[in-house]
C-alpha cells in the first residue's frame, strides 16, 4: 500500500516539477506564439536539422546498441526516430506560431534549446529526489531487502550529485535567456501585419 502511495506522489511531483520548469524555460517563445498564432511554416533548413538529428539517432543506436542485436536494435532505433520526428514537428509548429523565421534562431531552438530543456526537465526533479533518498540510512531498512542494499551502494555518488544538481538551475536560466534571444526583435511578418491591420480596422 505504501509503495503505491509513494509511487503516485513521486509521479505527481515529477510531472508537476518538469512541466513547470519546462514552461518557465520556454515561456518567452510560448508567450510570443500565444500573441501571434502564426501559421506553420517549413524552411529548407528545418529538414536539414531533422536529417542531422536522425543521423545522430542512427549513430547512437549503432554505437551503443549494435546491429547484431536483432531485436533490441530495431526497437531502439524506431523509438528514437519516432521521438526525434515528433519533437521536430513540435518545434517547427512552436516556432512558427511565434513568428520565428530566421534559420539561425530556428537551428538554435531545434538543435540546442529544445533537447537541453528536455534534459533539464527530466534530470533536475530526478536528481532532487535522489539526493533526498540518499540522505536516508538504509542500514535499518531490512524490509526493503535488495533495494536498500542497492541504494546504500549509491551513497558513494552523493558528493557528485551535490555538484551537478546546483548547476542545473543555472543551465535552466541560460536556456530561458536563449528563449528570450530567439524572439527578440522579431520582424513583423506578412501574416502578423495583416492580422494587426484587421484588428486596427475592426476597432474603428
Set of cell numbers at residue 96: 512558427
The whole-number pLDDT of residue 194 equals: 43
Q: Is residue 201 part of a domain?
A: no
Average pLDDT (110-129) is: 95
Q: How many CB atoms lie within 10 A of CB 147?
A: 11
**What confidence tier does 4 reach under pLDDT thresholds 50, 70, 90?**
confident
Of 174, 182, 172, 183, the C-alpha closest to 22 is 172
Q: How many domains does the chain have?
A: 1
- CB of 135 closer than 8 Å to CB of 124: no
- Specify the higher pLDDT residue, 160 or 56: 56
Q: Provide the domain limits for residue 105.
A: 2-196
Q: Is residue 203 part of a domain?
A: no
- CB of 36 closer than 8 Å to CB of 190: no
Helix ranges (H only) for 98-145 are 103-108, 114-134
Give per-residue pLDDT as tens, 192-202. Answer: 444 434 433 34
Q: Is residue 137 part of a domain?
A: yes
The whole-number pLDDT of residue 152 equals: 62
Q: Is residue 73 part of a domain?
A: yes
Q: Is residue 107 part of a domain?
A: yes
Q: Is residue 202 part of a domain?
A: no
Q: Is residue 134 part of a domain?
A: yes
Site of grid cell 513568428: 99
Residue 80: is its pLDDT beyond 60? yes
The whole-number pLDDT of residue 134 equals: 76
Amino acid at each position: 500500500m505504501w509503495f503505491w502511495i509513494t509511487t503516485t506522489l513521486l509521479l505527481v511531483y515529477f510531472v508537476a516539477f518538469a512541466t513547470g520548469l519546462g514552461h518557465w524555460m520556454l515561456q518567452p517563445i510560448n508567450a510570443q506564439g500565444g500573441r501571434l498564432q502564426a501559421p506553420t511554416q517549413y524552411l529548407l533548413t528545418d529538414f536539414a536539422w531533422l536529417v542531422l538529428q536522425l543521423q545522430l539517432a542512427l549513430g547512437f543506436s549503432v554505437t551503443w546498441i549494435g546491429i547484431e542485436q536483432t531485436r533490441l536494435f530495431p526497437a531502439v532505433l524506431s523509438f528514437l526516430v519516432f521521438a526525434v520526428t515528433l519533437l521536430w514537428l513540435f518545434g517547427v509548429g512552436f516556432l512558427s506560431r511565434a513568428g520565428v523565421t530566421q534559420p539561425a534562431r530556428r537551428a538554435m531552438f531545434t538543435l540546442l534549446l529544445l533537447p537541453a530543456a528536455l534534459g533539464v526537465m527530466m534530470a533536475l526533479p530526478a536528481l532532487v529526489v535522489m539526493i533526498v533518498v540518499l540522505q536516508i540510512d538504509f542500514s535499518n531498512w531490512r524490509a526493503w531487502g535488495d533495494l536498500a542494499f542497492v541504494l546504500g551502494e549509491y551513497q558513494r555518488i552523493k558528493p557528485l550529485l551535490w555538484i551537478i544538481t546546483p548547476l542545473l538551475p543555472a543551465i535552466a536560466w541560460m536556456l530561458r535567456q536563449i528563449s528570450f534571444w530567439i524572439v527578440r526583435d522579431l520582424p513583423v511578418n506578412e501574416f502578423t501585419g495583416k492580422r494587426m491591420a484587421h484588428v486596427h480596422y475592426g476597432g474603428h
